[in-house]
Amino acid sequence: MPALFMDRINDLAFIIDGRLVILIEHQSTINVNMPLRLFLYIARVYEKYVDNKALYRSKLIKIPKPELYVLYNGKADYPDEETFRISDAFFDSDECGESDGKLVSGFIEIEVKAYNVNVGHNDSLMRRSAVLYGYAQLVGKAREYQDSGLSFDDAIKTAIDYCIKHGILVEFLNKHSSEVRNMLFTEFDFDDAKEVWREEGFDEGREEGGAMKAIEIAKNMLSINIPIESIAITTGLALDKIESLRPGDL
């Protein structure tokens, strides 16, 4: 999907009609801390967008309005749409928001819209984007073939062949089938890895074993050139830690 946008800042952030859109894909579960994580992330994006010297001038700096979205394509049941707010994480969250019809002074709110993009969900949204619809079909078929007994790799290859045969994302898949296979293989493999972490008690990464597994996943994602911002959101590792894992630094 990133190739569709004209003014790309990186693989997660795009300028569209004067808006700064942050688009995140989630594999298996929705992370309720996404508003906080994206708040920290978008600050780094604005740092790259704005000339630091201009911050100390008297003239107002105009910046694009942020819009934050999560696309959920996990296996578990999930509603078509949900909204997460950073104010829910505040200690005094019941005192946030509006008072007498006015926004509380000094109050910061970050909203993240989560959309279920699995087959059979958000039909109106899917009809507006052939790419999003095709992606949902591809992921759905890959899972279907995997559930039928095929290995990860064979399920992904068969799903790609199915989509091309049925006119789904044909041009993109013909040009980038190897990259798509690597992306989906990493995505599916990470879902299974997280399930193992839960079983072993490492789900939140508080134990040394869980941290080591996150590092292993991060190395695999770096090896196929997935952006470090995506890796950070997926694994929970800090950006500087991920940078230190690049092959030249191992």
Q: 19 in a domain, yes or no? A: yes
Split at pLDDT 50, 70, 90, the class of 144 is: very high
- At 163-195, the pLDDT tens digits run 999 998 888 888 777 777 666 666 665 555 555
Q: Compute the mean pLDDT over every residue in the chain, rounded to the nearest whole number.
A: 75
Split at pLDDT 50, 70, 90, the class of 162 is: very high
Q: 195 in a domain, yes or no? A: no
Q: 192 in a domain, yes or no? A: no
Domain count, the chain: 1
Higher pLDDT, 70 or 179: 70
Confidence at residue 7, expressed as pLDDT on a 0 to 100 scale: 45
Q: 182 in a domain, yes or no? A: no
Confidence at residue 80, expressed as pLDDT on a 0 to 100 scale: 93
Q: 97 in a domain, yes or no? A: yes
Q: 241 in a domain, yes or no? A: no
Whole-structure pTM value: 0.65
> Quick one: which of 223, 150, 143 has its CA closest to 183?
223
Q: 154 in a domain, yes or no? A: no
Q: 62 in a domain, yes or no? A: yes
Higher pLDDT, 227 or 219: 219
Note down the domain range covering 100.
1-128
Confidence at residue 79, expressed as pLDDT on a 0 to 100 scale: 92
Least confident stretch, 5-9, 97-101, 126-130: 5-9
Burial profile 151-186: b = 16 or more Cβ within 10 angstroms, e = fewer: ebeebbbbbbebbbeeebbeebbeeebeebbbbbbb
- The answer, yes or no, to whether residue 28 has pLDDT greater than 80, is no
Q: Where are the beta strands (DSSP E) in the chain?
A: 7-8, 13-16, 19-26, 65-72, 81-85, 98-99, 102-103, 111-116
- At 196-218, the pLDDT tens digits run 445 544 444 445 555 677 787 78
